[in-house]
Chains A and B, each alone.
Chain A
């Protein structure tokens, strides 16, 4: 056994030497070298001379007290290996043991690296989670916003479609189809903008001002809301100030969005009575007042009305509570302001104004809102002429008799007159004489289905500027009006 024990001890000593490459330094109390076992050169240290100061070679000994047990871990050696250092006090000095821990250091380094990587990943994950949370909030806000915008035209489409199911009047059915088309176009417009807006944060909406014709906007508003109001037995009235320019410059989609939100709210909350929309314009600003006879709001509700996702407790139907929040932001974006006057049981009045400078369309597109009076008792003829003249940029007024024509011409700054030959209470020949006698000096175009040469001569003698035969091409009628604009009536032209 003794022999085996010796062998094992020898084997363990050899393994220990190979694994740990120990170096023993036997030092006196002043770190003088008394003896060295092992080869310190394997760690890059110079072999110190006997009696010399060991700290000259082993600088980690500076600050070490030879009278105390000391353990230094992972000390880097001159040749970039690594050792653990153990200082053992002895009677005459101390013993210093260096053992190789290069492998441990490498393992420690790898562990540290992994720890750092994990920490870094955790940090990145936290940042990503923050981003995700923010994006989720923006997305939720955005979706709620858009849902609100889709709901109103969709409601109009549904209402018109339901009406068409029961419509016995073909003409009314045509109006319904038109309203459905407009509402669908509005939705399509929103979807188009959705693609653009997805690029922006919710507070970074950009305005895209374009020339827009107010009559188109008013027609759309009426087509969108009148059926809803009428279906509830309410009145729906839209009035526009005569000072309103035919064209203004504004972001059409945003302006429409504002109108739809405010009028939609008024229609939604009003059960009896009606909704009145008044539009005015002055000094480059469009002013809109929407008055309803709904239940009104108390002070608490009014204080929260612009906050997102806030809806009245008794709000009818679905909604995200974003309408007025969006509206105010858009109004302010359009350099305007909004105010609400309301009280319980007194209805609500919303007044807002936005920048909308007047726009003069280029001459090629027609007139800039000049008044043209169409005098014809046939509404089919009036409707189609009004359409073409409106398209050409004129503001069109209707008179279905001579008497009505004289009244209209007395109250308006009339640019031109288009009249039928036969009217219920007078002839076109007599009427043009009356107009001239009243001082009207602008163009008068007689438009008739009769192509008699005698009628032409009579028209000229009565004071007509031009004589055209129905059906005249719209561009020819417009050209005729332009041709005669700005000069007193003269010889009639052949039609």
Chain B
């Protein structure tokens, strides 16, 4: 495998992650749950991140996708989801 050809792809993907963080925050301003656009973006991030070696991002995005698509069980769960969302956004925003 040509690492030289792969590296620009990895670099470009990582440098595009802060933009995804901003997009997630913008979408979440309309609510975390029952938000189809937000769920689709989380699904997209979950699908792509693993290909680029960002397995932690993929795992968090997949978990959040499942949780926000069905709504909070209780207030504690909602707090946990919001914290998880913030952690994902922070991780994306700080990616280089």
A: residues with CB less than 8 A from B are: 170-171, 173-175, 177-178, 181-182, 185, 216, 219, 378, 380-381, 383-385, 387, 391, 420, 422, 448-450, 470-471
Question: Would B11 and A449 count as touching, CB distance under 8 A?
Answer: no
B5 to chain A: closest residue by CB:
A387
Of the candidates B5, B8, B16, B47, the one whose C-beta lies within 8 Å of that of A177 is: B8
Chain B positions 57 through 74: 1 when the CB is less than 8 Å from some CB of chain A, otherwise 0:
010001001000000000
By the criterion of a CB under 8 Å from any partner CB, how many residues of chain B are at the interface?
27
Given contacts A174-B12, A422-B40, contact A470 B7 (CB under 8 A): no
CA distance A463 to B76 in the complex (A): 43
B: residues with CB less than 8 A from A are: 1-2, 4-9, 11-13, 15-16, 40, 43-44, 46-52, 55, 58, 62, 65
Chain B proximity of A474: nearest CB distance (Å): 8
Question: Would A171 and B12 count as touching, CB distance under 8 A?
Answer: yes
Of the candidates A171, A185, A422, the one whose C-beta lies within 8 Å of that of B15 is: A171
Given contacts A178-B7, A449-B43, contact A384 B48 (CB under 8 A): yes
Given contacts A181-B4, A449-B62, contact A378 B9 (CB under 8 A): no
Q: Contacts of B15 on A, CB cut-off 8 Å?
A: 170-171, 173-174
CA distance A450 to B55 in the complex (A): 15
CA distance A391 to B1 in the complex (A): 6
Given contacts A174-B12, A175-B8, contact A380 B43 (CB under 8 A): no
Q: Contacts of A175 on B, CB cut-off 8 Å?
A: 8, 12
Q: Contacts of B11 on A, CB cut-off 8 Å?
A: 170, 174, 177
Chain B proximity of A11: nearest CB distance (Å): 100
Chain A proximity of B69: nearest CB distance (Å): 11
Instruction: Show 8 residue pairs from A and B whose CB-CB distance is below 8 angstroms, ordered by the A residue.
Output: A170-B11, A170-B15, A171-B15, A174-B15, A219-B5, A381-B47, A383-B13, A422-B40
Q: Considering residues B11, B15, B47, which has the most beta carbons from chain A within 10 angstroms of its beta carbon?
A: B47
Question: Would A170 and B16 count as touching, CB distance under 8 A?
Answer: yes
Chain B proximity of A481: nearest CB distance (Å): 16
Given contacts A170-B15, A174-B12, A175-B12, contact A384 B4 (CB under 8 A): no
Of the candidates B4, B6, B13, B46, the one whose C-beta lies within 8 Å of that of A449 is: B46
CA distance A381 to B45 in the complex (A): 9
CA distance A449 to B46 in the complex (A): 7
CA distance A471 to B58 in the complex (A): 9
B42 to chain A: closest residue by CB:
A449
